[in-house]
Amino acid sequence: MQPLSILVLHGPNLNLLGQREPGIYGAVTLAEINRLLQEQAAKMQASVFAMQSNHEGALVDAIHEALGQHQGILINAGAYTHTSVALRDAIAAVNLPAIEVHLSNIYRREDFRHHSYIAPVVIGQISGFGAQSYFLGLQALVHHLRKDEG
């Protein structure tokens, strides 16, 4: 089994996890999520490279740079989910398998959060399970990437 490399992208304001609206996003910090993702990935013979940015262009650049470096993308685009055609187009352009994750159930929140520009260009979307959304997303992505191995 070949080792896999997964790019994990965290969008705007996710650097404030653990402090920002814990009733919605929980008490877990981004550093804890990244540490747990690394542990889970290692058990699946994969590695994760995590990056957080509040800047749309930096996230687009990271998606472009994923070509030839990573086999898949796990993305929580935060608010850019609902506004960024640029992120949607970048994911479509690199044609790497990607999964969209959200800590909260975006469909139980404000109406403007019910639309995702990213959903049509990813394998699937997982939302509403807090930090577990990331772990479920990683599991699903690794499973998807491994299914053709044999």
Choose, from 80, 102, 117, 134, the residue flagged as catalytic. Answer: 102
> Which tens digit of pLDDT belongs to each residue from 130-139?
999 999 999 9
pLDDT at 105: 80
82 assigned binding-site residue: yes
The boundaries of the domain holding residue 39 are 4-146
Q: Count the neighbouring beta carbons within 10 Å of the beta carbon of residue 136.
A: 16
Burial of residue 68, with CB atoms counted within 10 A of its CB: 0-12 exposed, 13-18 middle, 19 or more buried: exposed
Per the structure, how many domains does the chain have?
1
25 is catalytic: yes
107 is catalytic: no
> Which tens digit of pLDDT belongs to each residue from 7-56?
999 999 999 887 766 566 567 899 999 999 999 999 999 999 999 999 99
CATH number at residue 65: 3.40.50.9100
Residue whose C-alpha is closest to residue 123's, from 105, 137, 134? 137
